[in-house]
Amino acid sequence: MAQTWARKRRGKLVRNDPYTKVDALAARRVLRDAYRARQELAKAFQSEVMTTHRLRWLTVITLLRAVGHALDSVDVRRSLLMKEAAKAAWSRWRQIPLHHLIFHEFIKRERDLVLKEYRFTTRRVTAGEPVEAAETIGPSTVLLIGDRSYSALEAVDAALAWWEAEISQIEHEAGATRRQG
């Protein structure tokens, strides 16, 4: 789960703490909820109620994309260092999409389909052939992301791990710049 949290003293947040100004607190809050949503999705997959699968999938996909929105809209206002590090990360993700397939082909594309068209799963694999825009999601759904296939939960786990690594890198870059300056 997320590793960096606001510093506290006697149970209260410390204001003007230079260390928390380079933490992506809003993005990490959303990421914590995405972890919780993933657990709820796993529980839902144990039932055979497809409506529950669909609602939990909608929740986890929305939260996975909201991590980036919180980073881009809220956390960049914490400090100029955080803003520069986040901007550099967004630029890196756009310039080298092959290194960030989980973002482009899963987090972003799946969210766009679910929220803009209310369709589920961008690419499913059935008997070795991809099927565009399948209408169901479940524990046996296999998603094709790049040249790899993932179960629905494996894709969510990969997205969570990707966000963890990227947020940590952004925080590290912002902190390193602060220490240098």
Contacts of 28 (CB under 8 A, 6+ apart): 2, 4, 5, 167
- DSSP structure string for 9-44: ETTEEPTT-TTGGGS-HHHHHHHHHHHHHHHHHHHH
- Domain annotation covers residue 67: yes
Is the alpha carbon torsion for 51, 56, 57, 59 positive or negative?
Answer: positive
Neighbours of 35 (CB within 10 A): 17
User: Residue 19: which residues within 8 A CB-CB, separation 6 or more?
Assistant: 7, 175
Cα distances from 103 to residues 20, 21, 26, 28, in angstroms, run 26, 25, 19, 17
Residue 6 lies in a domain: no
Any domain includes 128: yes
**Residue 90 is assigned to a structural domain of this protein:** yes
Contact 170, 82 (CB under 8 A): yes
- Are 23 and 171 contacting, i.e. CB atoms less than 8 angstroms apart? yes
Residue 35's domain comprises: 19-180
**pLDDT at position 9:** 54
pLDDT at 153: 96
Q: DSSP 3-state assignment of 90?
A: helix
Strand ranges (DSSP E) for the chain? 8-9, 12-13, 123-126, 129-132, 142-145, 148-151
Give the C-alpha separation, 181 to 168, whole Å.
20
Total domain count, the chain: 1
- Tens digit of pLDDT per residue, the chain (181 long)? 444 444 555 666 555 555 557 788 899 999 999 999 999 999 999 998 888 999 999 999 999 999 999 999 999 998 899 999 999 999 999 999 999 999 999 999 999 988 888 887 655 555 444 444 446 788 888 898 989 999 999 999 999 999 999 999 999 999 886 666 5
pLDDT at position 20 is 55
For residue 2, being part of any structural domain is answered with: no
Per-residue model confidence (pLDDT) at position 127: 47
What are residue 132's DSSP bridge partners? 123
